[in-house]
Amino acid sequence: MKEVRRYLEDRLGSYSFYFEDLKSGFIYGYNEHVKMTSAGCMKLPVAMAVMKDVEEGKVSLQEEVLLVSRDRVEGSGILKHLNSRAYTVQELILVMLVESDNTATQKLVSLIGFEELKAKFSEMGLLNTTMNDMPGSPINLTTSYDLSLCWKLLKEGEYLTPEHSRSLIEMLKSENKKKKTGFYLDEPLKDKIASKAGDMPGIENDTTLIELQKGDFVFTIMSADLPNSVYGLVSLAKSGKMIWDGITYNWK
């Protein structure tokens, strides 16, 4: 994984990177504990926090939540374009993850509250993750280590039940068609990847779980101060290809 670090060090902008082989325990990090703007990647720990409240009986997946015009949040997602109607918590989680919908995210955060969200992040061990404002805000912060830890908790069933952990992983296997770190991979390989991407002006992030017969691998790449989005997408795509090649040829 050193080649990924060397590559990112030579690119314009600032980067954070974390990789872990969940089977062997091998890890490699670069600025992995540096707080950076989370963008859409924050929706992964938010989904886990909401699901934990479901398990604790504080919220029901079938509970209906009314969305009206004043609930609409700009940025990514489709709900801002639709008429007012009620959605179940389960539907909002799905739309938040698969469509990276900011309106669904804001409604779920409002449902459980910022203090509950903070408590759940602490329970998960996300020591450097804070959601301070509505989705899309630059002051919502996390690290590549914390985002990778989310996948580890889901894969190993250390926070949510196996059923709920698996459901979130499966939702994220279809998120955004792997257009970032999985961009250069062959289509059949993308089915083995669950990911949650995020972007804002000057920022391109992606956090990923790869499930293979030889083992399970998690990695996250975050960036800031990019000259433009295309430059950032190329940085993440080439890094993802390096990571995949490393797994393919260096792991047995």
pLDDT tens digits along 92-125: 999 999 999 999 999 999 999 999 999 999 999 9
Buried b (16+ CB within 10 A) or exposed e, 158-186: ebbeeebbebbeebbbebbebebbbbebe
Q: What is the pLDDT of residue 178?
A: 57
Is the separation of the CB atoms in 220 and 148 below 8 Å?
Answer: yes
Q: Which amino acid is at 31?
A: N
Is the separation of the CB atoms in 101 and 198 below 8 Å?
Answer: no
Q: What is the pLDDT of residue 147?
A: 98
Q: At what angle do helices 229-250 and 2-9 cross, to 10 degrees?
A: 160
Is pTM beyond 0.75? Reply is: yes
**What distance in Å separates the CA atoms of residue 87 and residue 76, rounded to the nearest whole number?**
18
Q: What CATH number does the domain containing 73 carry?
A: 3.40.710.10
SS3 7: helix
The total of structural domains in the chain comes to: 1
Residues for the chain: how many in total? 252
**What distance in Å separates the CA atoms of residue 84 and residue 95, rounded to the nearest whole number?**
15
| Residue appearing with tokens 């260096």 | 250
Structure tokens at 123: 């329970």
**Residue 66: strand pairing partners:** 86
Q: What is the pLDDT of residue 177?
A: 55
Q: What is the pLDDT of residue 248?
A: 86
Q: Which of 118, 144, 149 is nearest to 53 (CA)?
A: 118
Per-residue confidence in pLDDT tens, the chain, 252 aa: 899 999 999 999 999 999 999 999 999 999 999 999 999 999 999 999 999 999 999 999 999 999 888 888 777 778 888 878 999 999 999 999 999 999 999 999 999 999 999 999 999 999 999 998 888 888 999 999 999 999 999 999 989 999 999 999 999 987 555 578 888 887 777 888 999 999 999 999 999 999 998 899 999 999 999 999 999 999 999 999 999 999 988 887
Q: Which amino acid is at 137?
A: S
Domain that holds residue 185: 2-250
